[in-house]
Amino acid sequence: MIDYEVLKSKDNKRIIGFGRYAGIVGAYNGIRAYGEKTNTFHLKPANECSGRKEMEAELHKAVFPENMKLVLTGFGRVGYGAREIMDLLPFTEVSPEEFLSEKFDTPVFTHLEIEDYYKRKDGKPFSKQEFYATPEIYESSFGRYSEVADVYVACHFWSNKSPFILTGDDLRSEKNKIQVIADVSCDIQGPIASTIRSSKIADPFYGFDPKTGQECDWKQAGSILVMAVDNLPCELPKDASEDFGSELIKSVFPHLFGEDPDNIIGRASETDLTGNLTSYFAYLNDYVNQVTA
């Protein structure tokens, strides 16, 4: 039994997953949500499209005001998937500094690295290596982006040891400008204060009242529209499955059916050929014993 989610290279990086299509559909849903929240355009839900091609064609209906601003966090498969949608839209990419300080005659977006939205509590320079090792000495500086952004598409990886990114105080602030949050990462009660639950494909949006911290009607004045679907690739099942299969053939099959000097298959194997847990998954023994007792 092989767990595809832990198939990793010798550098400990995942080599396969559905993240790309989570980013693609999540960014599309974020744009669709903005149209609904502002009542300026209406896009067909992704799951009602025949496939990615029709979904992308829907984007031609989207219209945006000048100086409309979208902020994106996260790289990897998810973040780059979201960028595939951004590349189809009339948005200009700008630096974080330009995003914060300048006005534009076109819609713009910025793609943030972690050093752009975290800072050391003592004011010393940011160190990525240090942040991963001791995140408790850092705090979020994302609030300054919430004061100028209209839409936030969250595609980051977050550890529960890390500080929250967008806090309740940020959203309660009179300076907050964000109207729509598409939380592709969907960490419940985690780094994005408005993500109080996941949503479903059939009903992808809910409202968040920043004053009370409670769910509300997303059409309510002053509310933030939240998109937090937790199984986004399922909205485009054919495209997502074909993409996953292609990566499986390219990146996994050579190790599965040929030589595997880096033990990629072994390190992702939950059980051996006799059905017993491997050493890599021995931590599950207590659970297995409970279930079979």
Map out the domains of the chain as residue ranges.
4-11+252-292, 19-237
Residue 166's identity, in one-letter code, is L
DSSP label at 277? B
Give the C-alpha separation, 71 to 146, whole Å.
9
Instruction: Give pLDDT tens digits along the chain (293 positions).
Output: 888 888 999 888 888 889 999 999 999 999 999 999 999 999 999 999 999 999 999 999 999 999 999 999 999 899 999 999 999 999 999 999 999 999 999 999 999 999 999 999 999 999 999 999 999 999 999 999 999 999 999 999 888 889 999 999 999 999 999 999 999 999 998 999 999 999 999 999 999 999 999 999 999 999 999 999 999 999 999 999 999 999 999 999 999 999 999 999 999 999 998 989 999 999 999 988 888 77
- Cβ neighbours of residue 154 closer than 8 Å, sequence gap 6 or more: 73, 74, 165, 166, 181, 182, 183, 184, 185, 191, 192
pTM: 0.91
Q: What is the pLDDT of residue 271?
A: 93
Q: Which residues contact 201 (CB under 8 A, 6 or more apart)?
A: 45, 47, 229, 231, 234, 235
For 63, the 3-state DSSP assignment is coil
One of 3.40.50.720, 2.60.40.10, 3.20.20.70, 2.160.10.10 is the CATH number of 19-237, namely: 3.40.50.720
pLDDT given for residue 288 in this prediction? 85
Residues 6 or more apart in contact with residue 165 via CB below 8 angstroms: 73, 117, 140, 142, 154, 156, 158, 191, 192
- Both tokens of 56, joined, read 């992308």
- Residue 33 has a CB neighbour count (10 Å cut-off) of 23
Cβ neighbours around 132 below 10 Å, total: 12
